[in-house]
């Protein structure tokens, strides 16, 4: 497995020293290698801004020091090293010959990025590509490499397990997020995990769990993000809110995965190769029956 980690930090530092009017063009050049892998139409700069990326239409004195902090911390080197460790752990899975990694700095004033996503997120659904975005706060800068592992897990999983946007189910998507976090934990410890699976608890968790289990077999990626990312994202993308708290799919997914791993004795690495339905079948978890009273709290 070859990892091609684009040197976006040096490129972003150069961009931020350009006059403001030249920055959109410079950003297009940085993101150009990945543009064919981005399914959304439109100007890549607009998509970057909509996704919480740093602004190229306004000066911000925080930006250049933040990029320099990441250069000094060797964030991209950390990303490469953690991905190599993850690839070695997943050696029994089919992997692509190469994966390219594009990291972009986030906008610290973007409310969704900072308050809902915990300051960072990624996308690993495009074959052969990982996209990472983060504002490098003290809490986040050391976790960007673990985010890369989370997204790489998706990339490997769906090289081995079918992901068809027309037929993928809510359950498969939810379990995928929980399994990626379980893999990060298995590889690097609980401290490496993202904040997403612990953002929802108590009654909010129970309500989300019940709704997700009831709609576990609902198919189509036009439906699944609302259950994984919650109502705020559903509204932003013009989808019907499902009464799911923001990021609740991660908490439910990790809960299901932990139950399944305990019941089967599998590791997260081994479970990577199993579709969600098969993993839960082996664990005797029956989504159509919904939650077992009191079980959600005891298993977390």
pLDDT at 249: 97
- Burial (CB < 10 A; 0-12, 13-18, 19+), residue 17, is exposed
Residue 154 lies in a domain: no
Residues 262, 150: contact at Cβ < 8 Å?
Answer: no
Task: For residues 138 and 215, state if they share a domain.
Answer: no
Integer angstrom CA distances of residue 42 from 39, 50, 198: 10, 11, 34
pLDDT at 296: 39
Task: For residues 209 and 121, state if they share a domain.
Answer: no
Task: For residues 190 and 266, state if they share a domain.
Answer: yes
Task: For residues 128 and 44, state if they share a domain.
Answer: yes
Tell me which of 97, 116, 145 is where a domain ends.
Answer: 145
pLDDT at 125: 83
pLDDT at 291: 42
Residue 153 lies in a domain: no
- H helix or E strand, kind and range, residue 252: helix 248-264
pLDDT at 39: 81
For residue 239, give its domain range.
161-300
Tell me the angle at which helices 248-264 and 170-188 cross, rounded to the nearest 10 degrees.
70
**2-5 vs 98-105, strand pairing mode:** parallel
pLDDT at 92: 96
pLDDT at 52: 97
Question: Per-10-residue mean pLDDT for the chain, 300 residues long?
Answer: 97 98 98 89 94 97 98 98 98 96 98 95 92 98 98 97 94 98 98 96 96 95 92 84 94 98 98 97 82 39
Neighbours of 152 (CB within 10 A): 27
Tell me which of 112, 145, 178 is where a domain ends.
Answer: 145
Task: For residues 34 and 85, state if they share a domain.
Answer: yes
Integer angstrom CA distances of residue 134 from 27, 35, 110, 118: 16, 19, 11, 9
Task: For residues 203 and 115, state if they share a domain.
Answer: no
Task: For residues 3 and 126, state if they share a domain.
Answer: yes
The sign of the torsion formed by the CA atoms of 231, 183, 143, 71 equals negative
Closest by CA to 254, choosing from 215, 212, 225, is: 212
Cα gap 165→219, rounded to integer Å: 9
Task: Give the count of domains, the chain.
Answer: 2
Cα gap 211→242, rounded to integer Å: 8
DSSP, res 53: B
Q: Tell me the three state secondary structure of residue 42.
A: coil
DSSP, res 191: G
- The structure's pTM equals 0.94
Residue 224 lies in a domain: yes
Contacts of residue 68, defined as CB under 8 A and 6 or more positions apart, other chains included, come to 13
Residues 188, 194: contact at Cβ < 8 Å?
Answer: no
Task: For residues 170 and 124, state if they share a domain.
Answer: no
């Amino acid at each position: 497995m070859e990892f091609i980690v684009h040197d976006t930090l040096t490129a972003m530092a150069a961009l931020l020293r350009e006059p403001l009017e030249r920055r959109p063009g410079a950003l297009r050049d940085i993101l150009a290698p990945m543009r064919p892998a981005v399914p959304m139409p439109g100007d890549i700069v607009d998509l970057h801004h909509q996704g919480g990326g740093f602004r190229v239409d306004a000066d911000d004195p925080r930006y250049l020091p933040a990029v320099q902090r990441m250069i000094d911390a060797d964030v991209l080197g950390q990303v490469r090293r953690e991905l190599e460790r993850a690839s070695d752990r997943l050696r029994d899975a089919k992997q692509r010959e190469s994966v390219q990694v594009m990291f972009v700095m986030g906008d610290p004033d973007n409310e969704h990025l900072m308050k809902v996503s915990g300051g960072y997120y990624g996308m690993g659904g495009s074959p052969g590509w990982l996209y990472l975005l983060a504002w490098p706060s003290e809490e986040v800068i050391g976790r960007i490499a673990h985010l890369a592992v989370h997204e790489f897990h998706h990339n490997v999983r769906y090289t081995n397990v079918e992901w068809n946007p027309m037929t993928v189910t809510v359950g498969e998507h939810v379990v995928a997020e929980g399994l990626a976090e379980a893999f990060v934990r298995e590889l690097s410890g609980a401290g490496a995990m993202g904040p997403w699976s612990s953002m929802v608890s108590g009654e909010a968790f129970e309500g989300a769990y019940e709704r997700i289990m009831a709609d576990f077999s609902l198919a189509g990626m036009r439906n699944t993000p609302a259950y994984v990312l919650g109502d705020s994202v559903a509204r932003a993308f013009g989808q019907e809110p499902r009464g799911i708290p923001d990021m609740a799919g991660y908490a439910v997914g990790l809960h299901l995965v932990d139950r399944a791993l305990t019941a089967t004795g599998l590791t997260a690495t081994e479970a990577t190769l199993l579709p969600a339905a098969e993993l839960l079948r082996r664990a005797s978890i029956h989504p159509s029956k919904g939650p077992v009273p009191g079980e959600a709290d005891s298993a977390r």
